[in-house]
A and B are shown apart, each in its own frame.
Chain A
Amino acid sequence: MENSTSLKQDKGNQQTGEEGRPWEEMTVASSQDPEPTSSKTSESESALESGPQSRSSPPWSRPSRGSTPPDEGTGPGASPRPPLPQEPSSTPPPPALARQVLEAPWQSDRTASVIPEAETPHSDHLEQPPDKGESSPYQTCQSKRNGFQQPQQTNGRLYGPKDVSCNHAEQKKLRFDLLQETDSNSQDDPGDAEPGAWKAAPSLTETAIQSAKAYLLQSSSKSGLNLYDHLSNMLSKILDERPKNAVDIIENISQDVKMAHFSKKLDTLQNENEMLPTYDIAEKQKALFLQGNLERADQELEDEIAENSLPNVMESAFYFDQAGVGLGTDETYRICLALKQLTDTHPIQRCRFWGKIFGLEMNYIVAEVEFREGEDEEEMEEEDVIEQRDNGDSEGEGDEDELPRSSYKAPQAIPKEECRTGANKYVYFVCNEPGRPWVKLPPVTPAQIVIARKIKKFFTGHLDHPIVSYPLFPGNESNYLRAQIARISAGTHVSPLGFYQFGEEEGKEEEEVEGRREYFEENPDFEGIQVIDMVESLSNWVHHVQRILPQGRCNWFNPVQKIEEEEEEDDEEKEEENEEPDYIEEVGPPLLTPISEDLDIQNIPPWTTRLSSNVIPQYAIAVLRSNLWPGAYAFCNGKKFENLYIGWGHKYSPDSYTPPVPPPVCQEYPSGPEITEMDDPSVEEEQAFRAAQEAAVLLDEEDEDTEQDEDEEEDYD
């Protein structure tokens, strides 16, 4: 009893909700009445749990037989039943005998209506089995019971009415005893004393049993379940599944059985709602897999172009995987298909999987693209139109009202680089997930790069998300993304020495800065470098993307000359322009400089090389990892190379980020001595001043006096 009470208490503590309260009432009731003959169902409940393991009794199986078949038949497969029917074969004689023994008195029980009230629910249960084929479950339950112990054994233990270990089991055992008694009475009379004693009590215990059972069979007003069915379902599930340490997870099993009851009805509704987002994305990705009809008539041309422009993403992914970098085969393959979709829909000369940038809500898959000649002119025209419109608006406003014009001239915005040059050499497309449409990122302006260097913000995944920062970033997330991509490309795109060579200069050998060597092409004579060499020496790797100057461009733009050109009309303002400081030309390292020239980040070298495999060096590849931009990788297997970036899109700095300080307060007016505040003169100073003044006046008067005197004296003379 101690075990069962403690179990009960545990259950009382852990159960929540409606089942807590009625159960607790039962616990209270049960603790007060420990007598075996009292019809307290709580004990029966606990007894049921411990019952199957320690004191399995055939009588228990009978009510379960009555109630489990309908439930098991309708149960949503909570308990797997297939292997069980084989059990009876293992122990044939006892079950057969016991079954017969029990079935006979069972039938007699049915007909003998001892207690009419308890009878009806009882018989209801009994009527159901014939419909559902009760013999096999009964048989299996029976075999299980007998598999545990011999019925005789339980008999031996149960004869004592004072056995208080589990009440309900006892009641069932009592019933079994009764039936056995009726049987034994009909057959033998070995021990007359005890059966006789038992005969006196049957009606009382039977009444108790029946009323206990009736209580158990009561339906809950809230859920329509009844305890009897629930317990039997639970126990049959446990017996079917045979989990380890079932007593520890009994509450969860109970919950599962209850959930299994209800989820059936609401299943269809819930499933539909939940699957929609998954279906959505699957649909989109399905479109990737369908190659569909090629729209262009010239399939051969299409194939050629496709071969040229679609990169071999899977091959690069394989090499990167050797290095331990990558996105997993599944995702990489989908990216490959998405790139194919991109090349099919846009006139692309060359395309490359640039990498993946993480965002807070969604990620970005970035593709670096080079359009075919002449395809991107439309973009430039649109932008010119926009600029003209802006100018027109501003002029219109000026004519309406003569507002005072400020003489402040903002420093001229540095114009962005033309397409296909410098930072805008490539066009970048992004998508959030393979299958979603590709979005083209706008070209980057130097101002955006300059400010992107000063801020550090996470990407959210939405291209139109505003960037709230100080200093104010001119643009939204798509511009910031583009700026970071430009910086990363300029900082980390490297290739083996000799892979690219400078092409024949096309006559742009003037001193013009724009004619700097930025035109390079693949070296057809590239023979490859030994992988070991690539790992050991950083000078075998070169940058093949121009570095971005502090100005924000790759090619230096001198704002002074532009200003002079514009200000030819306004002569007045020329003087002001001369006050502008001279711009020092910014120079960066030339293209194709080896990365061994890169500066250290304090004490950390900017690049780390590694051989992909130390144990199989003959097939290993050289892997280069950037420490300045964590997430940037490059590999080379001697002849082939590739760059990749997978990361958050931020530069590494050993110092933590500090936002820039606001600029100093502007001068409102030039301060000179005439408006500089001075202290008021003190009293002594004033007196001294007055004295001095009076002295001066006196002097003048004396002079006059003396003159007069002199005159007077002359007169007198």
Chain B
Amino acid sequence: MDADSLLLSLELASGSGQGLSPDRRASLLTSLTLVKRDYRFLGDPSHEYEHTELQTVNDGDKVFEEEVVVQIKEETRLVSIIDQIDKEVAVVPRGVLFKTPFGPVHVNRTFEGLSLSEAKKLSSYFHFREPVELKNKTLLEKADLDPSLDFLDSLEHDIPKGSWSVQMERGNALVVLRSLLWPGLTFYHAPRTKNCGYVYMGTGEKNIDLPFML
């Protein structure tokens, strides 16, 4: 997210309870770097974690397990978590991107926003990552798709089913998708306008208990 959309994103995602204080907002805007995150990352990117794991070491004929201490910097952890979050729950509405037959994907400048009825359906939102499920679709399903717009995975086939919460806020003027797999990921979209985006504010932990909670 760049400085232009930061304020709007924060304002529209504010219904999720966590935002940035004016202090932080200002610092983020000016520096555009990610602020130190929550405790569980200790807040110090250069901290080195020590992770002890058992590794099987082949020593000639002998195979034995040895405790190897692997050092990981918090920076690395942070980067990997961000990447994981992006891969799993980054969302774009249908129609924002379109694919040309030559391959490149472009931002659709004529995107006018989803209509109200479309905005409430999970099928109008896609994962913003390389599609993995498209090839598994049956021919019948593929026939209904528009190859220029439907080239990404839709959210409605996410496992477990129900791992997204769709809500209309501000009296139908804003649709908010909250991920239950990564609590803290909020996607917002104002229907019939071009505003959309997602923000992650959380502890960087996946909710593995999700199947029990649904």
Contacts and interface: CB of A to CB of B under 8 A. Distances in A.
Our verdict on whether A and B bind, yes or no, reads yes
B167 A362 contact: yes
B171 A656 contact: no
Nearest to B208: A656
A616 B23 contact: yes
Contacts of A647: 17
Pick from B16, B17, B209 the residue with the most CB of A within 10 Å.
B17
A285 B171 CA distance: 9
Interface string A597-636: 0000000110010001111100000000001001100000
B39 A278 contact: no
Given A359-B165, A616-B23, A657-B209, A327 B14 contact: yes
Majority SS at the chain A contact face = loop
Contact of B115 (A274, A359, A612): A274
Interface residues of A, number: 54
A277 interface: yes
B23 A256 contact: no
A543 to B, nearest CB: 20
A166 B112 CA distance: 34
Given A14-B101, A274-B115, A630-B203, A282 B19 contact: no
Interface stretch (A102-110, A316-324, A444-452): A316-324
A457 interface: yes
A331 B170 contact: yes
Given A252-B108, A325-B19, A612-B21, A10 B165 contact: no
B106 interface: yes
Contacts of A211: none
A256 B110 contact: yes
A223 B180 CA distance: 46
B172 interface: yes
Contact of A326 (B17, B169, B208, B212): B17
Contact of A321 (B21, B39, B170, B178): B21
A646 B17 contact: yes
B62 interface: no
A361 B165 contact: yes
A457 B213 contact: yes
Contacts of B170: 330-331
B15 interface: yes
Contact of A324 (B18, B115, B172, B180): B18
Contacts of A360: 162, 165, 180
A485 B166 CA distance: 23
B21 A613 contact: yes
Contacts of A612: 21, 23
Interface in A4-51: 10, 13-14, 16
A358 B169 CA distance: 12
Given A14-B148, A281-B171, A358-B178, A322 B109 contact: no
A274 B116 contact: yes
B17 A356 contact: yes
A278 B165 contact: no
A324 B17 contact: no
Contacts of B146: 16
Given A243-B109, A458-B180, A613-B23, A327 B15 contact: yes
Interface residues of B, number: 44
Nearest to B11: A328
A285 B214 CA distance: 31
A456 interface: yes
Interface in A500-528: none
A248 interface: yes
A322 B22 contact: yes
Given A327-B15, A659-B212, A321 B22 contact: yes
B20 interface: yes
A613 B171 CA distance: 34
Given A281-B171, A360-B162, A657 B108 contact: no
B23 A322 contact: yes
Given A278-B172, A278-B173, A456-B209, A326 B14 contact: yes
Interface in A618-677: 627, 630-631, 646-648, 650, 656-657, 659
Contact of A656 (B24, B168, B180, B209): B209
B135 interface: no
Contacts of B16: 358, 646
Contacts of B169: 331
A249 interface: yes
A458 B179 CA distance: 12
Contacts of B183: 648
A274 B117 contact: yes
Given A252-B110, A326-B14, A630-B203, A281 B172 contact: yes
Which of B40, B100, B101, B165 is the most central at the interface, judged by chain A CB atoms within 10 Å of its CB? B165
Contact of A13 (B101, B108, B167, B171): B101
Interface string B1-29: 00000000001001111111111100000
B165 A627 contact: no
A296 to B, nearest CB: 31
B39 A604 contact: yes
Given A321-B22, A324-B18, A361-B166, 14 more contacts: A13-B101, A14-B101, A16-B146, A321-B19, A326-B17, A327-B15, A328-B15, A328-B19, A331-B169, A356-B17, A458-B180, A458-B214, A613-B23, A615-B23
Interface of A: 10, 13-14, 16, 243, 248-249, 252-253, 256, 274, 277-278, 281-282, 285, 321-328, 330-331, 356, 358-363, 456-458, 604-605, 608, 612-616, 627, 630-631, 646-648, 650, 656-657, 659
26 contacts: A14-B148, A248-B106, A253-B110, A277-B116, A281-B171, A282-B171, A322-B21, A322-B22, A324-B18, A325-B17, A327-B15, A331-B169, A356-B17, A358-B16, A358-B17, A358-B165, A361-B166, A456-B209, A456-B212, A457-B213, A458-B213, A458-B214, A627-B39, A646-B18, A647-B17, A656-B208
Identify the 4 closest CB pairs spanning chains A and B, nearest first. Answer: A646-B17, A328-B14, A281-B171, A324-B21
